[in-house]
Structure 1
């Protein structure tokens, strides 16, 4: 079949790779000048199946209320005259019910495990170097309440096949000596030995190059105008190329993998997708004291900040801002990352030579992505991965390629029909 993939982030490129591997003719279209230039550009770097607890859980409504008026809140909700935002918020509250939250966690874990295995398979087969470290993830706990909550979370994940256990502060220090600075503040940590870290941008660019060698056509700097539909089926995609010329691309199947922009394109075709952008920030800094910088990827649970070592740089990322489609860098949010990074790792980095970035994570209310056929025939979805696009990307692409090829994916997941 001829398949058009809309979007060249980690989700779209992974989908293109597995489609091409199955013998399909694939065209990838993206408005950027290359692969992984938007949400897949500078995220926190974690491949973190252990972080598969949905934002929408029974504790979330009280947290959101507590954070509502705080500019430094880890999750910042900025109310707007936006029906999509309010509808998403109401759906989020519904997904906080215990039964729904537990079901969503099962889905996220199943996809995360499948994707991590798929990523490792790609690494073996293609020899891609993306500054990967197989050092696990440590989640830092600074209060008794966090410790109690973490104990329950570890038990839940262990039942689902994810290795995650509690450590004492001394045991955490053995895993990561760079924690010596904050050892007196620690009450404990969670240890996830099978999780990893790496540079999603480098991975996606390398995989796109492998796709091109396999015959995948990439059309960058190309605006996607609309999905053209006839009798409930997508019949083509109208685009405007880098030269300003209008064109229509026809195919047997179309994959919508535009992240937070997926619902905007889908809406023009009469398809409502429950996806809303959650803006995240990152700071990338040169390491000047290697011994003071962590090699294990770190999650600071209280501040919702993650830290990953990427080569000779440190990536600090976090916060979520539900405020529409702006990618404007708010100085206050940027400063929060630097403040927390300094508090954790002192003089490990040159804090004056920082590169800030923001990106829009495509979040569904329950944090479970939309993967599978839509109600528009010939249109397939691969979007809504939220903060776990890097964790779930390779496996999502593999699973959707199976579905498009008429095969059954090798995981227990509720594939959608939106």
Structure 2
């Protein structure tokens, strides 16, 4: 078949790769000049199956109330006259029950484990390099209450095959000596040895090159304006190229992998996707004192930040990313939030990074209320979804790409996950029943 993939980020490129592997003629369309130039550009770098507890959990409503009005809050809702934001927020609250949280963790872990295995197989098969580190991920807690609350989710993840071990503060410092500075503040930690980290942007660009070598066509600097339906199917994609020329791109199937922009293209077709942009921030800075810098990828629970380290070609740098700001499609950098991240880095690892050379970035992560992504079929038989991955796009990229490629090809996915449009496995929170 001729398959058109909309979006050249991590999810779009991985979809294109696996569709091509199954023998399809694939064209990828993206408004940017290069692949992975938006949400995949400067994310936190973690392949984190263990980061499976969704934002919507029983403790979230109280935290959100406490954080209201704080410019540096880890999770910040800027209430707007935006019905989509309010509907998303109501769905988010419905996902905060213990039962829904357990269900969502199960979905996220299953897809994450499969995706991590798929990434590792891809790395072996084609030798792709992206500054990967396979030292695991250490999730540390600086309050006893949060550490205690982590026990049950960690136990559930272990039961699902994600070996997230609960460890003491002393063991955490042994695994990552850079934490010694805050040892008195550590309540404990969890450690997942199988988790990884790496440069998502470098991975996506390298995989795009592999796709091109295999015959995949990339239409970059093409602004997608509409999906046109005819006879109950997608007839063509409308776009304008970098010179403003109008184009109609036709294919047998379309995969929608445009992150936060996905619901804007789907809505005119009568498909309402429960995705709202969550603006995330990252800081990248050169390592100043290697003895103070972390080696293991870290997650700071209190401030909702993740820490990775990239070393290649004589460059040694830290990447710190996280927080979420729900403020529509605004992409402006908020200086207060940027400074809060730098301040936290200095508290944890004083002198490790050169803050005077810090580079700041923000991107819109496509968040569903449940944190469970939307992958699979829609009510239109030739329109497929691979979107809504929130903060876990890098973690879930390969598994999602391979799964949607199999679904497009009429094959069963290899993982037990609630794919959209598949019999008996609806995704909670999709507003239009026709998309289930």
**TM score, norm. by length of structure 1:** 0.99
Q: 2:390 pairs with 377, 380, 386, which one?
A: 386
More displaced 10-residue stretch of structure 1: 176-185 or 324-333: 176-185
Give how far 1:270 is off: 2.4
Q: Does 1:238 align with 2:238?
A: yes
User: SS in structure 1 opposite 2:415?
Assistant: coil
Equivalent residue, structure 2, for 1:5? 5
Equivalent residue, structure 2, for 1:109? 109
Give how far 1:182 is off: 1.2
- Which string of whole-angstrom CA distances, capped at 9 and with x for unpartnered residues, describes residues 330-372 of structure 1? 0000001100111111111111001000000000110110000
Q: Does 1:409 align with 2:408?
A: no
Equivalent residue, structure 2, for 1:93? 93
Rounded to whole Å, the distance in 2 between the matches of 1:185 and 1:107 is: 33
The unaligned stretches of length 5 or more in structure 2 are: 422-434
Q: Does 1:324 align with 2:328?
A: yes
Q: Does 1:157 align with 2:161?
A: no
Q: Does 1:174 align with 2:174?
A: yes
Give how far 1:265 is off: 1.0
Equivalent residue, structure 2, for 1:21? 21
Equivalent residue, structure 2, for 1:334? 338
Give how far 1:260 is off: 0.3
Map 1:247-396 → 2, pairs under 5 A: 247-311=247-311, 312-396=316-400
Q: 2:404 pairs with 396, 400, 404, which one?
A: 400
User: SS in structure 2 opposite 1:8?
Assistant: coil
More displaced 10-residue stretch of structure 1: 15-24 or 154-163: 154-163
RMSD of aligned Cα (Å): 0.9
More displaced 10-residue stretch of structure 1: 218-227 or 240-249: 240-249
Give how far 1:13 is off: 0.2
Rounded to whole Å, the distance in 2 between the matches of 1:324 and 1:338 is: 25
Give how far 1:231 is off: 2.7
Give how far 1:95 is off: 1.2
Rounded to whole Å, the distance in 1 between the matches of 2:97 and 2:417 is: 20
Aligned length: 418
Rounded to whole Å, the distance in 2 between the matches of 1:10 and 1:246 is: 26
Give how far 1:62 is off: 1.3
The unaligned stretches of length 5 or more in structure 1 are: none
Rounded to whole Å, the distance in 1 between the matches of 2:96 and 2:180 is: 37
Map 1:33-182 → 2, pairs under 5 A: 33-182=33-182
Equivalent residue, structure 1, for 2:431? none
Question: Which structure 1 residue ranges, 4+ long, deviate > 2 Å from structure 2?
Answer: none
Give how far 1:152 is off: 1.9
Give how far 1:243 is off: 2.3
User: SS in structure 1 opposite 2:351?
Assistant: helix
Equivalent residue, structure 1, for 2:432? none
Q: Does 1:195 align with 2:195?
A: yes
